[in-house]
Amino acid sequence: MRNVLVSCCSSLLVLSILPVFAQETIIVTAERRAQDINEAPPSIARITGDALQLISADHIAEALARAPGVNLHRGSGAEHLTAIRSPVLTGGAGAGSFLFLENGVPMRSPGFANINGLLDAHHEIAGAVEVVRGPSGALYGANAIHGVVNVLTPEPSQEPSLFAEIFGDTEDRYKWKGTASAMRGAHGLFVGVSAVSEAGYREDAGLDQQKLTMRHEWSGENVSADTIFSFGNLEQETAGFIFGEAALNDRDERRKNDFPQAYRDAKSARLQSSLTVDAARATQFKLTPYALWNDMEFPQHFLPSNALENNSHWSIGVQSAVYHDTDGFSIIAGIDAAYTEGSLREFQSMPTIFSFTQGLHYDYDVRAINASGFVQGEYALTPRTTATAAVRIDGTIYDYDNKTDSGVVGRFLRLDDQTDRFVTASPKFSLRHQIAERLSGYASYARGARPPQTTDLYRLQINQTGDQARPEIIDAFEVGARGAIDDSVDISLTAYFMQKRNFFFRDADGFNVANGKTRHVGVEADIRIALHETLSLESAVTYAAHTYRFDRVTGRASESIAKGNDVDTAPRVIANTRLAWRLSQRITAELEWVSIGAYFTDAANDNQYNGHNLLHLRTEALLTDNISAFVTLRNLTNELYAERADFAFGRERFFPGEERTLGFGLRARL
């Protein structure tokens, strides 16, 4: 607890002593169209393309750490677990509580989410990444109950441009990427490619990944079209947990991998095309058909069976919206729909061990239909006060087809063919008031809802025959303020209170919990300060309490839940502070401090990880007008820390973070 208080107080002290610079106008896409960030809720954060290039992230977690309320636990290779105004969630909750988008379109179909949902996102060449924290209103549906991450592809540049970057570091990690962009008449084209090959910080934990994104824009007098294609390929060896604090603090033991047989192969492809029609001066139509495909294979090294899982799905869908804007009033309405076919197969080649039987565990297909309608109205009550009301209705049908024998095989329960239907409603109400010329306040209520994941419904075990998973519901209240205090200070402050029910997870005994309840209360600050014309400070600070609101006794005392306990893996304090310095016209540097407070690693709050503080240094120097060199020094103090800490089966386990790592790269622009 002392580390929590020190981290919180230190971060707040820095912010109180140092006076944030008023930024240029920032445009976000929370309404699936360009919008001034000052007209959006304070709970949206945007990480710009310049910041993404500066970070040169090895993993998207490094970039998202700059948004308040966000905490990604980096796993092996490209894997991760996500928290947005939440604890770090696992299982179906971890897969289905966050909506991951590219250019406003889901990267995976609702109900078929993957817990490592951002591993395919092309953040390496992105023009920006936006994060919406909390239930996001009417324009986003299922999977968006805790937050939305939207990775945006750069628009074609007005003048022809080429960009290339190469990078290597002391962990035998090598990266390259390149982009080409141009406009010619009414047509614009952008192409971005990236690749990474790394030996891995841990033994037998190498990674190779390649990504491609192509974008074509066409603009007519009243019509425009925007088509984007993305492809990704991942081949990685996977390292599992290390066990015990002694191993975490031993520079040799923490690099070992007890699961050399583990790997993850994944491929994905996405295509979308948006047609925008300016029908009249105040009315605009937007139609976005899309298609996506995902395929993944990995052995379940975290189970005694080491069973091989193959899962895949493809989906075709369409998003539509009509925008009507007049003085003092605007309305957005639309219909979204998608059809999905997915499959899952799990096979154990090893001899039977305990109740993990050799042979086929599951083999099933699921067809899904998702249809949604939404409407949002905004009305100016006074010249300085605007009210917004919105609602979204989501309908989901799952048609499950068991392709093997039904019944019990070992510990595995195979259901008969069945059809499940879910309908959820997500309303939102808000008020925005212009407090001063450059400062606005905001208050809102929103409900988020999502149907269960298909794996929660159909991938069952014999002790999971209790209540079926039901739609999760979260009610969120929020107040905030955003704006410029003066020419040197820009600030966004938010406080929220959220209650979630029907939280579905599996307890330490392996039983389904279908009626879990949690509470999430927090404050967030996103502050930017111009200390000098050559020196600036930015900081994202979060203090939040995520607690259980029910009791449940399990056979494992360390996993029994008591009302009021902190949800495990939920640090109360998260802070990210950056000091940027322009040493000269040709040299810039940034020092970043990442602070993760202490958190409990079990549901009973008997075991704790003490948190960590990391320093990262980045600098770039222009060698010529077109070529620059950059250096990164991650984990400057060489701290032995955990990307993820956990307690299970009576012992501590960790994903160790990388030690001090020095990297060097070159960038060329034409």
Residue pLDDT, tens place only, 578-629:
999 999 999 999 999 999 999 999 999 999 999 999 999 999 999 999 999 9
Distance (Å, rounded) from C-alpha 197 to C-alpha 78? 12
Where residue 77 falls (left for φ over 0; alpha for ψ -120 to 50; beta otherwise) is: left
SS3 556: coil
Distance (Å, rounded) from C-alpha 88 to C-alpha 569? 6
Is the Cα torsion angle 137, 142, 145, 151 positive or negative in sign?
Answer: negative
The encoded tokens of residue 400 equal 């499950």
Distance (Å, rounded) from C-alpha 609 to C-alpha 337? 43
Distance (Å, rounded) from C-alpha 257 to C-alpha 278? 57
Distance (Å, rounded) from C-alpha 579 to C-alpha 582? 10
Angle subtended at Cα 393 by Cα 391 and Cα 394, rounded to the nearest 5 degrees: 140
* Cβ proximity of 224 and 276 under 8 Å: yes
Q: Which helix (H) or strand (E) holds 14?
A: helix 2-17
- 2-669 carries CATH number 2.40.50.320: no
Phi first, then psi: give them for residue 534, nearest 5 degrees. -115, 0
Q: Give the CA diameter of the chain.
A: 73
- What are the tens digits of pLDDT across the range 110-153? 899 899 999 999 999 999 999 999 987 688 877 889 999 999 99
Q: What pLDDT, on a 0 to 100 scale, did the predictor assign at position 16?
A: 32
CB neighbours (10 Å) of residue 167? 19
Q: What pLDDT, on a 0 to 100 scale, did the predictor assign at position 536?
A: 95
**Which residues are within 8 A (CB) of 260 and not within 5 positions of it... i.e. 6 or more apart?**
203, 204, 237
* Domain positions in the chain: 2-669
Distance (Å, rounded) from C-alpha 156 to C-alpha 85? 34
Query: Which residues of the chain fall short of a pLDDT of 50?
Result: 1-24
Q: What pLDDT, on a 0 to 100 scale, did the predictor assign at position 1?
A: 40
- What are the tens digits of pLDDT across the range 531-542? 999 999 999 999
Q: What pLDDT, on a 0 to 100 scale, did the predictor assign at position 589?
A: 96
Q: What pLDDT, on a 0 to 100 scale, did the predictor assign at position 329?
A: 92
Single-letter amino acid, residue 311: N
Q: What pLDDT, on a 0 to 100 scale, did the predictor assign at position 466?
A: 53
Q: What pLDDT, on a 0 to 100 scale, did the predictor assign at position 616?
A: 98
C-alpha atoms less than 13 angstroms from C-alpha of 614 in its C-beta half-sphere = 23
Q: What pLDDT, on a 0 to 100 scale, did the predictor assign at position 468?
A: 74
Distance (Å, rounded) from C-alpha 329 to C-alpha 334? 17
Q: What pLDDT, on a 0 to 100 scale, did the predictor assign at position 473?
A: 92
Q: What pLDDT, on a 0 to 100 scale, did the predictor assign at position 469?
A: 80
Q: How far is CA 435 from the centre of its chain?
A: 32
Q: What pLDDT, on a 0 to 100 scale, did the predictor assign at position 12?
A: 34
Distance (Å, rounded) from C-alpha 110 to C-alpha 475? 20
The encoded tokens of residue 330 equal 């605007």
Kindly report whether the global pTM for this prediction surpasses the value 0.85.
yes
Q: What pLDDT, on a 0 to 100 scale, did the predictor assign at position 267?
A: 97
Q: Which helix (H) or strand (E) holds 535?
A: strand 535-548
* Cβ proximity of 480 and 442 under 8 Å: yes
Q: What share of the chain is helix, strand, coil (3-state, %, to 5)?
A: 10, 60, 35
* Cβ proximity of 165 and 178 under 8 Å: yes
Strand pairing of 308-326 and 283-299?
antiparallel
Distance (Å, rounded) from C-alpha 476 to C-alpha 499? 7
Find, among 331, 205, 217, the residue nearest to 260 by Cα: 205
